[in-house]
Amino acid sequence: MIVSGSLGQNIVPKIYTWSQVHSIYVFCNNRSVHEKWAKKILKIKGVHTEIESICEALKKDSARCDRALISISFRGIDASFMYTQLIKEALLEIDDDDASDKKSIKDLAEYCRLQNDIATDEIEKFEREYHQHTPIWWYTAPFFIYTMLNRALRLLDVDIILKMGFFIRHLHRHIKQLYHEQQSKMRTAAVLTVYRGQGLSIQDFEKMKQSKGGFMSFNNFLSTSRDRNLSLNAFTRPAALQDPDSVVFSSAPKSLTKPQ
């Protein structure tokens, strides 16, 4: 929500508690005047005197929300988890070749051009340079791939999942390759521990505490770090979660475990 300074001073205190309001940006001519009341309301993400700075703030906050909004189930192996597994297994069984890759890349690019929220230069770069970079590079780069893939997996949007099926296969195989390379360099008894900073709603945090000793399932690829402090410091509470808690997940898979 973007409001002017004078209007925001009167209306924001009345509506900021609404669940529909995630973030508020104040646009005004006098920052020092409006920062005094704005700093008292957590949902106000900034007071700006230029529309360009609001656009930049929106881009950054949108990216944080996309990275925070992942699908987590605390109910163990539920229907959603099984459905995702079946889709994944079917996708990974498909063999790719140069011709099918070229067609898949072109089809995805054409689909993206029909959307209104993807920059044309990003689509053209993806179509032109896909094979010049690794799948992990594309997944972690500041392009539409991360957002589109995780949103599709979170919502179980089968149409988009199928359109991105070739990329899911490439990303999976790249991770698997790096896993085997890493295991061959590590001592037999060595255990790799990785961390991920994550935001959880109060409700999900309570569910997680109640499921101690049980199973958790994720529909998404998870970006992690071997540096615990980096995971602690890098994560900021996303506006998309109401009253969020910040947590750090620690995972130490056994050296013989193979990614499926």
In the predicted model, is pLDDT for residue 217 greater than 90?
A: no
Are 173 and 207 part of one and the same domain?
A: no
- The answer to the question of residue 36 being in a domain is yes
Domain count, the chain: 3
Q: What is the pLDDT of residue 235?
A: 57
Helix (H, G, I), strand (E, B) or coil at 247: strand
Q: Which domain holds residue 31?
A: 2-49
Pick the last residue of a domain from 134, 152, 185.
Answer: 185
Are 83 and 177 part of one and the same domain?
A: yes
Are 221 and 244 part of one and the same domain?
A: yes
In the predicted model, is pLDDT for residue 88 greater than 70?
A: yes
Are 85 and 177 part of one and the same domain?
A: yes
Pick the last residue of a domain from 185, 213, 240.
Answer: 185
Pick the last residue of a domain from 157, 185, 213.
Answer: 185
- The answer to the question of residue 129 being in a domain is yes
Distance from the first to the final alpha carbon of the chain: 42
- The answer to the question of residue 58 being in a domain is no
> Which residue's entry shows tokens 């229907």?
79
- The answer to the question of residue 65 being in a domain is no
Q: What is the pLDDT of residue 121?
A: 94
Are 152 and 135 part of one and the same domain?
A: yes
- The answer to the question of residue 67 being in a domain is no
Q: What is the pLDDT of residue 239?
A: 47
Are 158 and 98 part of one and the same domain?
A: yes
Percent of the chain with pLDDT over 70: 84
Q: What is the pLDDT of residue 240?
A: 46
The Cα–Cα gap between 206 and 19 comes to 19
Torsion of CA 8, 12, 14, 20, to 10 degrees: 130
> Which residue's entry shows tokens 């109640």?
210
Helix (H, G, I), strand (E, B) or coil at 184: helix
Confidence of residue 189 (pLDDT cuts 50, 70, 90): low
Average model confidence (pLDDT) across the chain = 82
Are 119 and 144 part of one and the same domain?
A: yes
Are 201 and 171 part of one and the same domain?
A: no
Give the residue among 121, 149, 155, 125 at the shortest CA–CA distance from 136.
149
Are 91 and 125 part of one and the same domain?
A: yes
pLDDT tens for each residue of 11-38 = 998 988 887 787 899 999 989 889 989 9
In the predicted model, is pLDDT for residue 4 greater than 80?
A: yes
In the predicted model, is pLDDT for residue 107 greater than 90?
A: yes
Confidence of residue 53 (pLDDT cuts 50, 70, 90): very high
Global pTM? Answer: 0.71
Q: Which residue has the higher pLDDT, 259 or 194?
A: 194
Using DSSP bridges, classify how beta strands 245-251 and 194-200 pair: parallel, antiparallel or unpaired. Answer: antiparallel
Least confident interval from 5-9, 35-39, 80-84, 243-247: 243-247
Confidence of residue 195 (pLDDT cuts 50, 70, 90): confident
Q: What is the arithmetic mean of pLDDT over 217-241? A: 69
- The answer to the question of residue 77 being in a domain is yes
Are 10 and 87 part of one and the same domain?
A: no
Q: Which residue has the higher pLDDT, 73 or 177?
A: 177
- The answer to the question of residue 56 being in a domain is no
Q: What is the pLDDT of residue 251?
A: 78
Are 206 and 241 part of one and the same domain?
A: yes
- The answer to the question of residue 257 being in a domain is no
